[in-house]
Amino acid sequence: LCRSRKAIVEDVPGVTRDRNYADAVWDDKHFTIVDTGGFDPGAEDKILELMREQAQLAIDEADVIILLFDGRAGLMPADEEVVAYLRRAEKPIFYVVNKIDGREQDGLSAEFYALGVETIYPISSAHGHGISDLFDDVAELLPDGVDTRDETDDSIRVAVVGKPNAGKSTFINKLLGEERLLTSDLPGTTRDSIDTELTYNGRRYVFVDTAGIRRKRSISQRLEKFSVIKAISSLEEADIVLILVDATIGATEQDEKIAGLAFERGRGCLLLINKWDLVEKDTSTAGTFAKELRDRFKFLSFAPIHFLSAKTGLRVAKTLQLIERVHEQYTRRIGTGELNRFFEEVVERKQPAMYRTKKVKIYYVTQVTTKPPTFVAKTNFPEAIHFSYERFLKNQLRERFGFEGTPIRLYFRPRGGKRTEVDD
Ligand code: GDP
């Protein structure tokens, strides 16, 4: 799917490609594909059981389920069980038989009708056969991507994400235990979720989807509850994402995955280094740690790094000030006049490369939206703007205006007509 011509998979250089989640667009529907890694509904083996739990989480969060069979292996006894299991979710299911390498082999998928399903989609992932038909139908059932964040609400919506045991629950509880804070529970945006609202310095903060985080659970329950899938759904609800990293372990691949998702979603980001009380320190420890993080999270070079201890309370309350600062940048608007004076000067200093024999011009720039700040530059040859030039312009924007903690986006469009998009 991700390689088919029709799908646009939103991926950004610098963000790890190797993961089981991909954002895609098909027929103007934006969606996330989650690869669950497969499962056996009756598994008693510990690892298989864990896989099933992860798959169950994905099923709970999904709008549409695709059940993929192996057409070469043929119908397996366990397939029936899987079908029965998935039907309980009462969600649309697409039954897809893979490894059917062309229309003449479609007949091979017929035996799967024995499962009592209405439609079987024969496809070949390797050759692309059938993918288009399948996703035309899938896209029809996907909801329109509605941004659930209310534009008129001036509260700052925050998601706390991080590996199990990073200290999310300790952090939230410590924050809520601060005497200066007034807190209350709110029903969340998604099914069964609870948000926590607090007021600090006259500002309302809503920590989204805190029910699972706040409730103390056994380790295995927490493992079950937390997953990258869970993190994706709380990212959707938030403006600012706090990525909690365990200082005693350092940043891990999972941290990188979650941070990458926050970045791709265009959320404001803060890197919080927790358990700082456990680290033996001298004057250079924080600097060295920060440098390693910067190397790991190259795409998050704009995100502030904040060291704290959720357990002792060290710099926990200060996090709120940082969130407010990032939110300011995240919602910041630059006037068109100021923006164009600035761009004139920058383009004067360094011109875009020629397109064939023609001069590439940038006519004017406007900020079209915030959350995150998004700019559109009108040009005669949008497709001729080189990636490195765009990077240069973004760096200049940051140098001049800051935008600490927030991604920025810059799109190039011709004067009138369709646009070319590039995400930061
Ligand atoms: P979660 O799974 O991310 O919610 O992590 P928890 O909040 O349950 O914390 C996991 C463990 O780390 C618990 O035993 C906490 O007491 C401990 N912990 C969390 N934050 C800190 C910290 O800042 N310093 C120390 N020393 N321990 C911490």
Give the best-scoring range by mean pLDDT among 7-16, 38-47, 178-187, 253-262.
Answer: 253-262
Tell me the CA end-to-end span of the chain in Å, nearest whole number: 23
pLDDT at 146: 56
At 332, list the tokens.
């910041």
Return the residue whose CA atom lies nearest to atom 18 of ligand 1. 167
Distance CA 53, CA 130 (A): 30
Pocket of ligand 1 (CB under 6 A): 162, 164-170, 213, 222, 274-275, 277-278, 309-311
For ligand 1, the distance from its centroid to the CA atom of residue 52, given in whole angstroms, is 27
320-333 residue pLDDT tens: 999 999 999 999 99
pTM equals: 0.72
pLDDT greater than 50 at residue 294: yes
Atom of ligand 1 nearest to the CA of 244: 3
SS3 content of the chain, % helix, strand, coil (to 5): 35, 20, 40
pLDDT greater than 70 at residue 110: yes
Atom of ligand 1 nearest to the CA of 314: 23
Atom of ligand 1 nearest to the CA of 216: 8
Pick from 412, 417, 409: nearest CA to 12: 409
Mean pLDDT on 357-362: 90
* Best of 224, 273, 311 for a ligand 1 pocket test (most atoms within 8 Å of beta carbon): 311
Residue 26 burial (CB < 10 Å; 0-12/13-18/19+)?
buried
Pick from 151, 150, 156: nearest CA to 322: 156
Kind plus residue range of the DSSP H or E element containing 169 = helix 168-177
Distances, alpha carbon 96 to alpha carbons 4, 89, 100, in Å: 17, 18, 10
37-68 residue pLDDT tens: 666 666 666 666 666 777 777 787 788 999 99
